Amino acid sequence: MAPKYRLAWIDAAKGVAIMMVVCIHTNGIFQNRLSPSNPTVTWWILNLINTACRVCVPLFFMLSGAVILGSPERSFLDRGYVRRIWRTLAPLLVWSLVYLIIYRMSAHRTPTVNDVLGIAAGKAHHHLWFLYSISGLLIVSPMLNAYVCATGHRGGLTLGILWLTVVGISWVLEHVFQFMLEPNFTRSLPVYTGYFVIGYALRDCPVTRKVKFLSAIVYLDGLVACALLVRSINSRASQFEGLIGDYVNPLVMIMSIAMFLLFRPLESAAPDEQPGRCTRFFARLGVVSLGVYTSHVLILDTVVRVAHNENRLGLRTLPYVAVVPILMIIVIALSWEFSEIAKRIPILRHVV
């Protein structure tokens, strides 16, 4: 029998991660309006919020790995594999077209055939980059699955740590020393493979109180270090420079793994034990995270235009520190509701 509540912690973690994604995008609009060279208290608060949420995308990769890897299906011809790929590619294709049409039309331009073909070249709306990356991981998932099945959690952990190390070193060399490694060293597997495999390797590890405490310390340390680095790198910048928040920055890697471990204790002790109310709330959001992810940017842009730029809700008089959470809650509520409704409509359910 499939464990009814056993995976609720994964859905809950997805729910928190998607909230962080919306938070980053909402936060980014307002942080970009502040001068980074002369930081105010508001800038610092927005910087801390942004940095704290950078773990969201790595969390998604790790949670996907935790669910997908270690399964009995191994082949490219397996029905479950094909269905999973389709469940990512269909939203990618449909939402790329939706964003393309809406944003071109709003700029009084007609989408061309080249614009549509650009989707295959990775030129979709900016936030959909994640669907390309996760699709790449899903495509190679039978290979990774076979490897982790043969080597177990320990083998998975070794691969994950090695790959994160390679990618992390490559990132440091590129951005600190302006030195590019030969692509065969770093692109033999998708960039985020490390997160994906570590998610599998850590999914069953017992998290004691000591580990939980250490994870919290590591996460907070990483947060402070990242926030200070963001300040340092932006001290002479005229526009906000978001390099430090890169998902393959070694500091973000460490923060993400720590955050993943902090979610682990949410797992129910027994398969039929109902999780707490908070876990259930986030798990419900997590179930529709794909729909929220794909739709929220459209909703966010509309809400910011109507509620803030055109000041229809009187938000312009409020400080950014208050505007960001208000807008974030509105956007999450609307995109959540949209995803729940779309899930009930036969054709739309395949793209959310």
Nearer to other proteins, 76 or 281 (CB): 76
Q: In whole angstroms, how close is the CB of 130 to other proteins at the nearest point?
A: 10
Judged by CB under 8 A, does residue 80 bind other proteins?
Answer: no
Q: In whole angstroms, how close is the CB of 122 to other proteins at the nearest point?
A: 3
* Residues 15 and 280 sit within 8 Å (Cβ to Cβ): no
Q: What is the 3-state secondary structure (H, E, C) of 168-180?
A: HHHHHHHHHCCCC
Judged by CB under 8 A, does residue 146 bind other proteins?
Answer: yes
Q: In whole angstroms, how close is the CB of 262 to other proteins at the nearest point?
A: 28
Q: Kindly report the CA angle at 249 between 245 and 252, in degrees rounded to 5?
A: 65
Q: Which stretch binds other proteins (CB under 8 A): 47-55, 57-65, 136-144, 297-305?
A: 136-144
Contact residue for other proteins among 159, 164, 223, 300 (CB under 8 A): 159
> Is the C-alpha dihedral spanning 21, 24, 27, 28 positive or negative?
negative
> What phi and psi values does residue 252 have, to the nearest 5 degrees?
-65, -35
* Residues 293 and 31 sit within 8 Å (Cβ to Cβ): no
* Residues 69 and 141 sit within 8 Å (Cβ to Cβ): yes
Q: Which stretch binds other proteins (CB under 8 A): 44-52, 56-64, 73-81, 239-247?
A: 73-81
Contact residue for other proteins among 94, 149, 172, 211 (CB under 8 A): 149
Nearer to other proteins, 42 or 151 (CB): 151
Joined tokens for residue 19: 């909230």
With tokens 């493979």, the residue in question is 193
Judged by CB under 8 A, does residue 71 bind other proteins?
Answer: no
Nearer to other proteins, 182 or 347 (CB): 182
- 10 Å CB burial of residue 282 (0-12, 13-18, 19+) is buried
Contact residue for other proteins among 28, 39, 155, 250 (CB under 8 A): 155
From CA 49, how far away is CA 24, in angstroms rounded?
8
Joined tokens for residue 156: 């998975």
Q: In whole angstroms, how close is the CB of 94 to other proteins at the nearest point?
A: 15
Judged by CB under 8 A, does residue 176 bind other proteins?
Answer: no
Binding residues (CB under 8 A) for other proteins: these are 74-77, 117, 120-122, 132-133, 135-137, 139-140, 142-144, 146-147, 149-151, 155, 158-159, 162, 179-185, 187-190
